[in-house]
Amino acid sequence: MPDRSLSPTTPHDSAACLLCVAVSTPAHSGVGEPLSYASPRPLPPGTLVRVPLGAREVLGVVWDAPAEPAALPPGMVPRTVAGVLEGVAPLDAAWRRLVSFAARYYQRAVGEVALAALPPQLRDLTPEQLARRLRRPAPPAHPSEAVAKTIALTAEQASATAQIDTERGPFLLFGSTGSGKTEVYLHCVQRALAGHPAAQALVMVPEINLTPQLEARFRERFAPLYGEAAVVSMHSGMTPAQRLKSWLAAHTGAARIVLGTRMAVFASLPGLALVVVDEEHDASYKQQEGARYSARDLALWRGREQGAKVILGSATPSLESWHASTPASEGGPGRYLRLHMPSRIGSGDGAGTGELPRVRLVDMGQQPRSSGAGGVFSPPLLAAITERVQRGEQCLVLLNRRGFAPVLHCHDCSWKSDCPHCSAHQVFHKSDRTLRCHHCGFTQRVPRACPSCGNPDILPLGRGTEQLEEQLAALLRNVITPDRRAARVARIDADTTRAKGALEEQLAQVHSGEVDVLVGTQMVAKGHDFRRITLVAAVQPDGALFSSDFRAPERMFALLMQAAGRAGRDARYVAAQGSPPEMWIQTWHPDHAVYAALRRHDYPAFAARQLAERQEAGMPPFAYQALVRADARTQEAAQAFLQAASDAARAAGLPGLDQVFLFPPVPLAIQRVANVERAQMLLESPQRGALQRFLAAWQPLLHAERPRHRGLVRWLVDVDPQAI
């Protein structure tokens, strides 16, 4: 594709400066490097500019000129920069190096990564509009006269913070649920900010719903020291104006602390001194659209490159991080320093000690088939929930599937509520009598009768959180709490939290004790500090035990262990109640090794077993992977593109090919979404460098192959994929 920044007819002042500008070009255009533009005056790299691109005017970032600039095509002259966003200081060299590395490693264009990392409103504002925005008075950032609240550290917390203060890191803070990892983060941030007047800290969480409670704790600690404006958030749930305001505060240094989700890893932080990645194991840190980067891995790279300390925190670390933190004395690489906090604090002020919940397995093979709620709740579990509610305690029931039922089914003709656009079922949502596809979003009303044979008796198969909530409410309808009221059951999932502020309102009801039993998906199983929950139950967790995805047991173990951590977090409350916290797991496979390790809260034993299996099979972290995915009008077209690309790589003898194994193309598990067929091809190598060299050399061949396949919609490369 020709460089659309160049024109043979644009007037050009020979005295003008030639600039390299990173702009977001079409994904499959093959134009991945910064483009050439003319400017009447020199502009430093990192300057934000408006430039013409084709028939549009777009935002760009002045980029570093290559050591050997390429000659312009004969007869072509560069188009001229349309405007400069004068009020914004240039993005520094460290930020540009981060973007360049991310683009190179994840096989994307520099302009795509750079522009996606900037707040959307910057892309729309003209220089004049931005100047008016910047002239608006900012709220005063003076600290209040209040004294910052401090909490005495436990011996384990003090040991961890001392090592973080004195060692280089990076650090893996391996602390059990409720061990006080957040207090360690707060202490380390305070030390980092006190060390230099311009120092900044970045604290990341995996999901938006964890941001408000973390922000409240950081504001409580740091607003008295640095002012309310010193703490800002960055996540996709904010309005464009809010995101721009937070970004500018971080970019100018006015914000000393940035809290955010994975997108915050690209925040412009010129004084970055500390990076914290909480729940570092969570798959949400891997972007699944566009540039498929891992925010955790980029945080590690950024910290090393900028000289900032990096803390990865988790009760169930990713196997990659656990392996990297295995000391050399134990046969590991020892790249991270592992800090262990095994003891649970369990009370809000840091006093007292708490116990981890006892894990109880219910063998569903030994339970009566006609037990309560159609077999969902075994009699022992139902009795345990009832007893807790009668004592005024709260329970959490986990089912990682929203909706009422995964599918509607006709017993006469075997019709199922399949999505017409995807190779998946439409989920039955009873609350609004709809069938919804959770892949493409297609929604329709529930039919009055079977569309195939007319049978009016179509029934739901399987269970979702909506059905669980309804059935549990019926089972507990006669249970009375100590304050003489009927038990209340509530549900928190993606359906109940769609409205703005809904999640915060529902969490507040749980914290205030208005809810006795909370039914939810994984969004309530991690990070939340529920003080009165003493029992957690996972009712149908077995599916991940036999998944074709080799990471499924790791994700399952982490989810269940994190969910167990919601029980018994307040030691004083538990002691006053006299009932130790419990985690109940209903399973058809009680002897499985995953459950055996979970019963002992023995993550090291689980990790050791999993790593041994992966090493024997040559899987990450002992190998490096990439996926090439093709979307096309037919499955044949998708696989044909991938096979042709594989053949072209072999024919060209690309560098690194002797150390890269290309598997045959196969359909995805959900092979059709929104009437688009999807196929993928796995690449694997024992050497990261060999895989990177191969992918970089393969890019031109992939671009060249695309026009030869008319049915192809798009293709993409996913480096270090989290799901296969």
What confidence score (pLDDT) does residue 148 get? 65
Please choose, from the candidates 157, 149, 148, 19, the residue with its C-alpha nearest in 3D space to the C-alpha of residue 79. Answer: 19
Question: Using CA atoms, how far apart are residues 363 and 517, in angstroms rounded to an integer?
Answer: 23
User: pLDDT tens digits, residue range 275-323?
Assistant: 999 999 999 999 998 899 999 999 999 999 999 999 999 999 999 999 9
Helices 688-705 & 635-652 angle (0-180, nearest 10): 120
In the numeric block, the tokens 């570093």 are attached to: 64
Overall fold of domain 6-135: GIY-YIG endonuclease (3.40.1440)
What confidence score (pLDDT) does residue 4 get? 43
CB 713 within 8 Å of CB 632:
yes
Kindly report the number of other CB atoms within 10 A of residue 227's CB atom. Answer: 17
Asked if residue 413 belongs to a known ligand binding site, the reply is yes
Rounded mean pLDDT, 14-42? 82
Q: Where are the domains of the chain?
A: 6-135, 155-341, 358-402+464-616, 406-462, 624-719
DSSP-derived secondary structure letter, 106 = T
Rounded mean pLDDT, 200-225? 90
Question: Using CA atoms, how far apart are residues 220 and 437, in angstroms rounded to an integer?
Answer: 42
Kindly report the number of other CB atoms within 10 A of residue 590's CB atom. Answer: 16
Asked if residue 410 belongs to a known ligand binding site, the reply is yes
Instruction: Pick the more confident residue, 106 or 505.
Output: 106
Most confident of 15-29, 207-221, 710-724: 710-724
What confidence score (pLDDT) does residue 136 get? 67
Asked if residue 437 belongs to a known ligand binding site, the reply is yes
Asked if residue 422 belongs to a known ligand binding site, the reply is yes
Domain 624-719 has CATH 3.30.70.600: yes
What confidence score (pLDDT) does residue 572 get? 85
What confidence score (pLDDT) does residue 20 get? 93
Radius of gyration for the alpha carbons in the chain, expressed in angstroms and rounded? 28
- Statement: residue 68 has pLDDT above 80: no
User: pLDDT averaged over the chain?
Assistant: 89
The yes-or-no answer to whether 358-402+464-616 and 624-719 have a common fold is no
C-alpha angle with apex 594: 590 to 600, nearest 5 degrees?
90
This prediction has a pTM of 0.90
As to burial, measured by CB atoms within 10 angstroms (0-12 exposed, 13-18 middle, 19+ buried), residue 149 is exposed
C-alpha pair distances (Å), 322 with each of 28, 218, 281, 327, 334:
37, 28, 10, 10, 10
- Statement: residue 457 has pLDDT above 60: yes
- Statement: residue 526 has pLDDT above 80: no
- Give the residues across from 22 on adjacent strands: 61
User: pLDDT tens digits, residue range 373-428?
Assistant: 446 899 999 999 999 999 999 999 998 887 778 888 898 898 999 999 998 889 98
Residue 662 main-chain phi, psi, to 5 deg: -105, 115
Asked if residue 17 belongs to a known ligand binding site, the reply is no
- Statement: residue 147 has pLDDT above 80: no
User: pLDDT tens digits, residue range 316-357?
Assistant: 999 999 999 999 998 889 999 999 999 988 544 444 457 889
Question: Using CA atoms, how far apart are residues 503 and 307, in angstroms rounded to an integer?
Answer: 37
**60-64, 350-354, 573-577, 691-695 — which is least confidently predicted?**
350-354
User: pLDDT tens digits, residue range 110-145?
Assistant: 999 999 999 999 888 878 888 887 776 655 555 555
In the numeric block, the tokens 């990070």 are attached to: 527
Give me 45's structure tokens.
Answer: 């790299």
User: pLDDT tens digits, residue range 471-493?
Assistant: 999 999 999 999 999 999 999 98
- Statement: residue 569 has pLDDT above 50: yes
Confidence of residue 78 (pLDDT cuts 50, 70, 90): confident
Question: Using CA atoms, how far apart are residues 388 and 380, in angstroms rounded to an integer?
Answer: 12
Give me 275's structure tokens.
Answer: 């990076």
What confidence score (pLDDT) does residue 141 get? 53
What confidence score (pLDDT) does residue 1 get? 37
Confidence of residue 178 (pLDDT cuts 50, 70, 90): confident
What residues contact 96, with CB distance under 8 A and at least 6 apart?
45, 46, 61, 63, 64, 114
Question: Using CA atoms, how far apart are residues 300 and 311, in angstroms rounded to an integer?
Answer: 9
User: pLDDT tens digits, residue range 215-271?
Assistant: 889 999 999 999 989 999 999 888 999 999 999 999 999 999 999 999 999 999 999
As to burial, measured by CB atoms within 10 angstroms (0-12 exposed, 13-18 middle, 19+ buried), residue 483 is exposed
Asked if residue 440 belongs to a known ligand binding site, the reply is yes
First to last CA, the chain: 32
Question: Using CA atoms, how far apart are residues 582 and 562, in angstroms rounded to an integer?
Answer: 13
What confidence score (pLDDT) does residue 348 get? 45
Q: How many residues does the chain have?
A: 724
What confidence score (pLDDT) does residue 372 get? 42
Name the E strands within 414-467.
427-429, 434-436, 443-445, 458-461
Question: Using CA atoms, how far apart are residues 498 and 208, in angstroms rounded to an integer?
Answer: 13
Instruction: Please report, as a single letter, which amino acid is at residue 429.
Output: H
Kindly report the number of other CB atoms within 10 A of residue 326's CB atom. Answer: 20
What confidence score (pLDDT) does residue 143 get? 56
What confidence score (pLDDT) does residue 12 get? 45
Residue 707 main-chain phi, psi, to 5 deg: -65, -20
- Give the residues across from 153 on adjacent strands: none
What confidence score (pLDDT) does residue 23 get? 94
Rounded mean pLDDT, 633-641? 96
Element housing 713 (H / E): strand 712-719
Query: Domain 155-341 is in which class?
Result: alpha beta
Domain 358-402+464-616 has CATH 3.40.50.300: yes
Please choose, from the candidates 694, 715, 549, 717, the residue with its C-alpha nearest in 3D space to the C-alpha of residue 620. Answer: 549
Three-state SS at 611: helix
User: pLDDT tens digits, residue range 673-712?
Assistant: 999 999 999 999 999 999 999 999 999 999 999 999 988 9
Please choose, from the candidates 67, 31, 62, 28, the residue with its C-alpha nearest in 3D space to the C-alpha of residue 45. Answer: 62
In the numeric block, the tokens 């502020």 are attached to: 501
Sheet holding 231-234, edge to edge: 231-234, 257-260, 200-204, 272-278, 309-314, 171-175, 337-341
Question: Using CA atoms, how far apart are residues 105 and 456, in angstroms rounded to an integer?
Answer: 55
